[in-house]
Amino acid sequence: MYKHLFCLLQPDWFLMMTPESLRPMVQTLLNSQIQAVLATQHQQQPYTSLMAFAVTPDLRQIVFATARATQKYANLMTNPRASLLIDNRGNDSADYRNAVAISAQGVTREVDAAQRAERLQLYLSKHPQLRDFVTDAACALLQLDVECYYVVSQFQNVVEWRFSNPAA
């Protein structure tokens, strides 16, 4: 929906957006994309992974799953701070004008037992083909408690949307 919005607007329009005016665009982009790039770190080196994800309706948590026997899981258990990059690029030159990228930053934790059924349903509603994977005992259902979003358009326009009281 928003992929072609920015080429129709004045260049400074995006810079004047308020965090709440970003909400519909962020919600649409996060709901329309099925994969994100997870960034963790190991021994002060970045480590990235392609991940299936789902976002809560309030945009405060992003849910994803990984096997516990992975480098990314080990990284997150050592340092739970992480970032997820979600974008709508088409892998062509028009991306410099039209693509939007969202970087969600925060702290990752394993979903607790009280929220597991709800978060699992959210994840599976977007990724039903991953049911066997995500329900396996060796798989961890994780969530990023989002502290802020960085929304980038037209290759260089950046707006920060920081939550005043990050989710606990």
Mean pLDDT check: name the lowest of 100-114, 132-146, 150-164. Answer: 150-164
pLDDT class of 3 with cuts at 50, 70, 90: very low
Predicted confidence (pLDDT) per residue in 53-66, tens digit:
999 999 999 999 99
pLDDT of residue 122 exceeding 80, the answer is yes
Task: Determine the pLDDT at residue 59.
Answer: 96
Task: Determine the pLDDT at residue 12.
Answer: 52
Topology, domain 6-162? Pnp Oxidase; Chain A (2.30.110)
CB of 70 closer than 8 Å to CB of 38: no
Question: pTM for the complete prediction?
Answer: 0.86
pLDDT class of 2 with cuts at 50, 70, 90: very low
Average predicted confidence (pLDDT) for the chain: 87
Mean pLDDT check: name the lowest of 1-15, 22-36, 66-80. Answer: 1-15
